[in-house]
Amino acid sequence: MFTRISRPRSYAPGPSGYPLLGNLPQFQRDALGFMLRMVQQHGDVVQLKLGPETLFLLGHPEHVRAVFLDRDATFSKGGRWETLKMLLGDGMLTSEGEAWKRKRRLVEPAFHRSQLSQLTRMMSRTTEAMITAWGEHADDGQPLDVCPWMMELALEIVVRALFSGDVTSDVQTISDAFMIAQRYISRITWDPVARLRSHLPSRRRRRFEEAVAQLDAIVLRLLNERRHSEPREDLLQMILDAGHGDEDRPLSPRELRDEVLTLMIAGHETTANALAWTWHLLSTWPDAARAIRDEVRDVLGDRRDVEFEDLQKLSWTRNVIQEVMRLYPPLWFIPRSVERDTRLGGVHMPRGAMVLVSPYVLHLDPRFWDNPAGFDPSRFNERPQPYTYLPFGMGSRTCLGRNFALMEMTLIVAMVVRAFDVARVPGHPVRPMTMLTLRPRYGIRVQLSRPASP
Ligand code: HEM
C-alpha cells in the first residue's frame, strides 16, 4: 500500500521556487520588483515560500482592511517582529495584547497636537543649523550625499524631542550603532539560514551585541540624568508622568528603556529615508520644488521662524511629502502572523503562516492610482481610495509618530527649499535598497546652490 502524503491545505497561486530555498533568492535579489510582478502575474493573494516559511503576499485593499481592522486577533505582529525584539525589547512597536495597549495608552498623550506644537521651535533651530552647514557646500560647489545628513537631522530631532537639552554628542554614536544593529536584524529577518546561525557565536553577532550595549548605555545614562534633574517640558517627562494617579502603572525602568529606544529608532530612520527620497524627487522635478518655494513665501512672507500654524497651511509641501511616501514608502513591508486558521480572498491560511502587506505594491497598483509610477503631488488634492495608501500603516497599530513625522518633514522641506536649489548630480545611480526600511542604495547626491530670488 502506498501512503498518501497529505499536502498542506492552503493554496493560492504563486511562483515556483528553488528546492529548500523556495523564492528566497528572487526575493533577496529584488524584493520590490519581485513582489510587483507576483501580484501582476498571480493575483491578489500570492503564495510564496521563503525557505521553510509560507508567506501570503496580499495585494487588495479589502485584504488590507481585513488584516489591519482585524477585530478578533486573527493576525498578530508575531513572527518577523520577533527579530526586532532583539534590539527593541518589548517596546510598543513589538509588543502585543494588553501589554501593548497599556504602553500605547501611556505614551500616546505625549504625541498629541498640543505637545507637538511646542516642538516647532526646536525642529526649526535644529534644521537651521544644518542649513548653515549646507551653505558651505552651496558656496564651494561640492555635491553632497543627503542621506547621512537626513539621518543625523531626524535622529537629533527625535532625541531632542524626547530629552530636550544638548544631545549632539550622542547622535553620531546612536546612528552608527543603529546601522550595525539594523544590518544584522535585516539579514536574519529575511534569511532563515542566517536566522538559525544567529544563535551561534560569530563576529557579526558580537558586533550586533556591542551595538545594542552601546545604545543601552546611552539611553540608561540619559534616563539616569533625568532622574536627578528637575522635570522638563519634553516627551520623556510626559511619559515619566503617565500612569501616576490612575489605575495604570507607570513604566518600569526596563519598560522605559524599551520605549525610549523604540521611539528613537522608529522615529528617525523612517523619516530620514522619506526625506532623502524627497530630495531625489525634488531634484528631478524642479517645478515641484519651485511650487514649494512659492507656497512658503506666501505663507511665511519675510518671517524667518516657522510657526506650528504655518505648517498646516503648507498644503502643496504636504502633498509632495505624501507623494514621495507613495513612491518610496519607508516601511515597504508590514508583516503579520496568522494566529488561527482563516480564509482571506478565498484562500485558506493556516495558523503560523505569515501575511505580508506591502505599501509599495499597493501604492503602485494601476487599479487604484492613475499613472502610478509618475510623480504627481497634485493627486493628493483628493483622498486616495480607502486602504490603498498606507505609509503609516492602518488600524489600531497605526504609526504613533504620524503627526510628529508629517510636521517635521513639512518643516524641514519648507526650510531647505527656501534656502537652496537642489539639483541632481548627473550620472549618480539611484536605486532602492530593502533593509528594514527602504533606503537609497548609493545615497542621493545633489548639488546645492542659492536660489536666484529667495
Ligand atoms: C515618515 C516617517 C514614518 C513612517 C513612514 C512610519 C511608519 C510606521 C508604520 C507603517 C507603522 C506600523 C507598523 C505596523 O503596523 O506593524 C509604524 C508604527 C510606529 N511608529 Fe512610525 N513611522 C514614521 C515615523 C515615526 C516617528 C517620528 C515616530 C516617533 C517619534 C514613530 C513611532 C512609531 C511607533 C511607536 C509605532 C508603533 C505603534 C504601535 O504599534 O502602536 N514613527 N510607523
- pLDDT tens readout for residues 141-180: 999 999 999 999 999 999 999 988 778 888 889 989 998 9
The residue whose CA is least distant from atom 18 of ligand 1 is 399
Instruction: Give the pLDDT score at 236.
Output: 92
Residue 84 Cα to ligand 1 middle (Å):
14
User: Is the domain of 396 the same as that of 315?
Assistant: yes
| Domains contained in the chain, number | 2
- CA 399 to ligand 1 centroid distance, Å: 4
pLDDT at 99 over 80: yes
Q: What share of the chain in percent tops pLDDT 90?
A: 74
320 domain residue, yes or no = yes
| Segment 372-395, tens digit of pLDDT | 999 999 999 999 999 999 999 999
CATH number at residue 36: 3.30.43.20
pLDDT of 79 above 70: no
> What does the block give as the cell for 233?
517640558
Residue 10 pLDDT class (50, 70, 90 cuts):
low
d(CA 233, CA 115): 9
CA of 110 from ligand 1 middle (Å) equals 14
Nearest to 419 by CA among 159, 130, 79: 130
Q: What is the pLDDT of residue 2?
A: 40
> Of 388, 408, 428, which one is at a domain's C-terminal end?
388
**How confident is residue 434, by pLDDT bands cut at 50, 70 and 90?**
very high
Q: Is residue 293 scored above 70 in pLDDT?
A: yes
Q: Domain check: are 302 and 405 in the same one?
A: yes
Residues with CB under 6 A from ligand 1: 92-93, 104, 158, 262-263, 266-267, 270-271, 274, 330-331, 334, 391-393, 397, 399-401, 404-405
**Domain match, 319 and 433 both:** yes
pLDDT in tens, 396-405: 999 999 999 9
- In a shared domain, residues 66 and 139: no
pLDDT in tens, 331-360: 999 999 999 999 999 999 999 899 999 999
Same domain membership, residue 142 and residue 13: no
**19-28, pLDDT tens digit by residue?**
888 999 999 8
Q: Taking the CB of residue 143, how many other CB atoms lie within 10 A of it?
A: 14
Give residue 353 CA to ligand 1 midpoint distance, Å.
24
For the beta carbon of residue 256, count every other beta carbon within 10 angstroms: 19
- Is 135 in the same domain as 34? no
Specify if 102 maps to a domain. no
Domain span at 336: 8-81+332-388
* Residue 25 shares a structural domain with residue 53: yes
Closest CA to 59 of 292, 311, 365, 312: 365
* Ligand 1 atom with the shortest distance to the CA of 336: 16
pLDDT of residue 303 exceeding 70: yes
- Whether residue 297 is found in the same domain as residue 378: no
**Considering the domain boundaries, does residue 93 fall inside one?**
no
Ligand 1 atom with the smallest distance to the CA of 391 is 5
Domain boundary among 388, 408, 429: 388
User: Which residue of 270, 277, 396 sits with most ligand 1 atoms within 8 Å of its CB, as the best mutation to test the pocket?
Assistant: 270
Whose cell is 517635521? That residue is 408
Kindly state whether residues 321 and 400 are assigned to the same domain.
Answer: yes
Is position 298 within any domain?
Answer: yes
CATH of the domain at 308: 1.10.630.10
Whether 183 is in a domain gets the answer no
**Cβ neighbours of residue 425 closer than 8 Å, sequence gap 6 or more:** 143, 445, 446, 447
Which of 10 and 329 is assigned the larger pLDDT?
329
* Residue 301, C-beta contacts closer than 8 angstroms, at least 6 positions apart: none
What pLDDT score was predicted for residue 101? Answer: 93
Q: Are residues 26 and 140 in the same domain?
A: no
Looking at the structure, tell me whether residues 49 and 139 fall in a common domain.
no
3-state class of 296 per DSSP?
A: helix
Residue 217 domain-assigned (yes or no): no
What number of other Cβ atoms are within 10 A of residue 348's Cβ? Answer: 14
Q: Are 30 and 64 in contact (CB under 8 A)?
A: no
**Do residue 23 and residue 131 come from a single domain?**
no
Ligand 1 atom closest to 68 (CA): 15
Query: What is residue 270's predicted lDDT score, i.e. its pLDDT?
Result: 96
Return the number of other C-beta atoms located less than 10 Å from residue 200's C-beta.
Answer: 7
DSSP assignment letter at 440: E
